[in-house]
């Protein structure tokens, strides 16, 4: 029968392995999991750690800025067309 472990348990085990105060075998025995599983969880944590500290703000701000530029250019184009239309109508009415 397979055991299933929740994320908190995996994180505790992986953190113990990252600390390296005890051997993988000692950690596995303490938490009653296979040593290979401890190593896998440790590798998963270490490989995903940079993603945790990635600065998502710069990408989000850049996307918002690009979106704003597109909207502004669209608005400028629409205003130019309306302005030309009003100039023509003004000349027809007054002159």
Domain positions in the chain are 1-54, 56-95
The answer to whether the CB of 44 falls within 8 A of the CB of 23 is no
Kindly report, residue by residue over 9-61, the tens digit of the pLDDT: 999 999 999 999 999 999 999 999 999 999 999 999 999 988 888 776 666 66
Q: How far apart are CA 78 and CA 12, in angstroms?
A: 58
Give pLDDT, residue 23.
94
User: Residue 27: which residues within 8 A CB-CB, separation 6 or more?
Assistant: 13, 16, 17, 35, 38
Whole-number Å distance between alpha carbons of 39 and 24: 7
Query: Nearest CA to 31 among 58, 12, 47?
Result: 12
């Amino acid at each position: 029968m397979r055991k299933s472990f929740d994320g908190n348990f995996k994180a505790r085990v992986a953190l113990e392995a990252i600390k390296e105060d005890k051997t993988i075998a000692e950690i596995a025995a303490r938490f009653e999991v296979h040593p290979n599983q401890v190593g896998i969880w440790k590798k998963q944590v270490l490989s995903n750690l940079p993603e945790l500290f990635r600065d998502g703000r710069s990408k989000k701000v850049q996307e918002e800025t690009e979106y704003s530029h597109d909207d502004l250019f669209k608005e400028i184009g629409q205003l130019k067309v309306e302005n030309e239309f009003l100039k023509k109508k003004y000349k027809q009415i007054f002159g």
